[in-house]
Amino acid sequence: MGRQVRFYVLPSDANALVDRLRSRLGTKVLVDYSPEYELFEVEAPYRETSSETLEPVGTSNRFYLATEPSRLFRKFYPKPNWWVVDSDSEGIEFEGCTFDGITLFEGRLWYRIDFVRDLQLVSKGVDFLKWAEAVYRCAKQFLRYVRGIDAYVGEDAFRFYQNGGKFDSSISPGGKVIQV
């Protein structure tokens, strides 16, 4: 079983949210995918490019939040030759929103409360679960809840939406965009 918070954030909102979580809860941001086994910690999920846009630091918009990186476990996938953080770890998946300049796709914070190991249901540690709930409360306070779309929205993303920008929740397996 897992917990999630859905949101729409532009890269600037994501960096501001991570900064808030770091200063208040000691959160570290780690790249999810890597060709190396070692975990790679970053200051912010998005960095400014030479063209003054913000792009993901890693190869995707997905990162892991943790207080103790040693509690994040990795699995190796030979195709495409990546080490990936295992969702059984004591970390929170932070999936930023994909943005093409016109449409902003939904992102989320997500973690498992428990997992199956050796045919037994195993709960994650009490300290992790308390910290994870604190992260959720802090994120919800930082973001704005918008009833019409039933999601939390960052400040810059909300301005984008008010100015006619599109929010999309997902893309169906057939490639059709599902608009909010």
3-state secondary structure of 156: helix
Q: Which helix (H) or strand (E) holds 171?
A: strand 166-171
Query: What domain range includes position 23?
Result: 2-179
- Asked whether residue 129 carries a pLDDT value surpassing 90, the answer given is yes
Kindly indicate the confidence band of residue 107, based on its pLDDT and cuts at 50, 70 and 90. Answer: very high
The pLDDT of residue 110: 93
Rounded to the nearest 10 degrees, how much is the dihedral formed by the CA atoms of 113, 169, 107, 174?
90
pLDDT value for 78: 78
Label residue 83 by pLDDT band (50, 70, 90): confident
Question: Residue 31 — pLDDT band, cuts 50, 70, 90?
Answer: confident
Taking a C-beta distance cutoff of 8 angstroms, is the pair 27, 38 a contact? no
| DSSP summary character for residue 160 | H
Q: Please determine, for residue 82, whether its predicted confidence score (pLDDT) is greater than 80.
A: no
Cβ neighbours around 56 below 10 Å, total: 18
pLDDT digits (tens, 9 = 90+) for 43-57: 888 888 777 777 766
Q: State the total domains in the chain.
A: 1
Q: Residue 8, Cβ neighbours under 10 Å: how many? A: 28
